[in-house]
Structure 1
Amino acid sequence: MNLAIDIGNTLAKLAIIDGGQVVDFLKTEQIDTAYIEKLLKANPGIDAAVIVSSRDTDEELERFLEQRMKRFLRFDQNVPVPIVNRYATPGTLGADRLAAAVGANTIYPNSDILIVDFGTAITIDVVSGGEFLGGNITPGAAIRFKALHHFTKKLPLCSLNDNPTELFGNTSVSAIECGVVNGIVYEIEGYIRDLQRKYSDLRIIFTGGDSNFFAKRLKNTIFATYDLVAYGLNRILEYNAE
């Protein structure tokens, strides 16, 4: 079994993968050697690990994994991947975005794919025919809510909720909630519309913490998965062992 670790800006996400399939998925705000030690004791079949981090490198954690695993890989822009990277500045590309692109191409090999990752930031990326073409980065929902609260004197701090979103709000809270949610929905719908004009058989994948929330609010046929990066990391780990 393989362990894929994605350390994001807010949470660390860990996937246990057996035979190419995610069999367990965990999230934690705090990840350290004690946490991993407990995980490995509960899953003694794990003998390989791959890690990607949006934060500073945790050298102690990586040394621990190197010592405990038969195979260990820290994924960054210097690691070979099984797709072509067309990003003009590969050194500035977030490794998690590239891992998600590999994961998307693993699910839909050599297809035209739109990947929307609803995290702290929302990334909108395109893979076509086994090539990562690039994408855009925009503030995620939490950032938008916090910005409205921080940069104004009277607007309250709001957040996503599961109540149906109307077209317009009739209170300050509902106006903010509708404004942020509908703004993101219309934004993504615009990308889908324009890309479907270019790619007749466009595949759409939503991932990230808020992916299910927004998948329910868009009309298109969407594959939503919380572990796209994990699938990509696992494929990269296996690719570098071939």
Structure 2
Amino acid sequence: MRLLFDVGNTHIVVGVYEKDFLYTWRIGTKSFETEDELFSHLSPLFNRENIKEEDIDSVIISSVVPSINYILNKFADKYFKSEAIFVTPKNLKSIELKVDYPNEVGADRIANVLALKKYYSENAIAIDFGTAITIDVLYEGDFIGGSIIPGINTQMMALFSKTAKLPQVELKFLEYSVGKNTIDNIQIGIIKTVVYGIQQLLKDIEKEYKRKFEIVITGGIGKSLHGIIPEFNNYDAYLTLKGLNVFYDFMKGAD
């Protein structure tokens, strides 16, 4: 079995994989400070599904939070006698990173485009809704760049923390576009501008490259936005975890 970690700024998606995904969980990125605390979170989840430590033979990680990589390394070594394998641009196979600074491309974005290429198309776009929204463009089988947008919750929290009277609001896409109260105003102002802004950006990308792209959305908030516009019809909750498997297979020469 493979133990997979998709480490984001707010949450970590944990997966146990064998031929197909067996189980997945989400834990807070800031919910542990040591490898032992991390194990204390995961151990009861493993026990509930009868997953034993000796069943895990590899640990693969996509992390955008360097400060906890040391903990993850120690966790893999102490509890699974395994060296943690981190997704990095170095020795990347199958895909070329055709950007100005390849070494700066985030591990999650690498995993996303690896999954796009294997499971979807050589001309595809991943939209990952997290603390930041990343748009990753795979063109003729290579990563050519994309864009980064402040996440919806990030924008909401910034507005809430910087103003005296504006409240925190839930994520909700409204059918109408003129708000009659403060909550409606915030939901329309943030969510609709993000959604329709991305929609226009996708049109611009297809116009620029004179090609239709297969579009896949992922990330926790992505599920809430699934289907609200035609471009958001394809939701894959485990796109990044799938990419971790692809990376591992390439590293081990299995694919």
1:191 CA displacement: 1.9
Per mean C-alpha deviation after superposition, the further-off stretch among 90-99 and 192-201 is 192-201
Secondary structure (helix, strand or coil) at the match of 1:224 reads coil
Distance in structure 2 (CA, Å) of the matches to 1:51 and 1:34 = 19
Q: Percent identity at matched positions?
A: 25
Cross-structure match for 1:46: 56
The question of 1:159 aligning with 2:170 is answered yes
Measured in 2, the distance between the counterparts of 1:229 and 1:199 equals 27
Deviations 1:6-39 (A, max 9, x none): 11111111112222x3222110113513334455
Q: How far apart are residue 43 of structure 1 and its match? A: 1.9
More displaced 10-residue stretch of structure 1: 147-156 or 4-13: 147-156
- Give unmatched runs, 5+ long, in structure 2: 33-37
CA contact (8 A) 1:103 1:229 kept: yes
Query: Which is richer in helix?
Result: 2
Conserved? CA contact 1:54–1:94, under 8 Å: yes
Matched, 1:35 2:38: no
Q: 1: CA distance between counterparts of 2:239 and 2:171?
A: 22
Which residue identity lines up with residue 93 of structure 1 in the other structure?
V
Query: What TM-score, normalized by structure 1, do the two folds share?
Result: 0.89
Aligned partners of 2:227 and 2:233 also within 8 Å: no
**Which range moves more in the overlay, 37-46 or 152-161?**
37-46
Shift of 1:70: 5.4
2:3 paired residue number: 3
After TM superposition, the structure 1 stretch with the greater mean CA deviation from structure 2, 197-206 or 165-174, is 197-206
For structure 1, list consecutive stretches of 5 or more residues without a partner in the other structure. none
Residue among 134, 148, 151 paired with 1:140: 151
| Structure 1 stretches of at least 4 aligned residues deviating more than 6 Å after TM superposition | none
Separation in structure 2 between the aligned mates of residue 232 and residue 178 of structure 1, nearest angstrom: 33
1:16 aligns to what SS in structure 2? strand
Equivalent position of 1:106 in the other structure: 118
**Which stretch of the first structure deviates more once superposed, 231-240 or 46-55?**
46-55
Query: How much does 1:158 deviate?
Result: 1.8
Task: Deviation per CA, 1:20-64: give whole Å up to 9, x if none.
Answer: x32221101135133344555532333122012221134243133
Count how many residue pairs are aligned between Structure 1 and Structure 2: 239
Matched residue, 1:194:
204
In the alignment, what sits opposite 1:89? 101
Q: Which residue of the partner structure matches residue 75 of structure 1?
A: 87
Q: Which one has more relative contact order, counting CA pairs under 8 Å at least 6 apart? A: 1
Equivalences for 1:195-210 in 2 at 5 Å?
A: 195-197=205-207, 198-210=209-221
RMSD across aligned C-alpha pairs, in angstroms?
2.1
In the aligned structure 2, how far is the partner of 1:181 from the partner of 1:72?
Answer: 37
Q: Distance in 1 between matches of 2:126 and 2:241?
A: 14
Residues 203 and 40 of structure 1, relative CA distance in 2, 3 Å threshold:
same
Residue 219 of structure 1 and its aligned partner are, at CA, apart by 2.2
Q: Secondary structure at the match of 1:13?
A: strand
Cα distance change of structure 1 residues 64 and 145 upon mapping to structure 2, 3 Å threshold: closer
Q: Distance in 2 between matches of 1:91 and 1:221?
A: 30
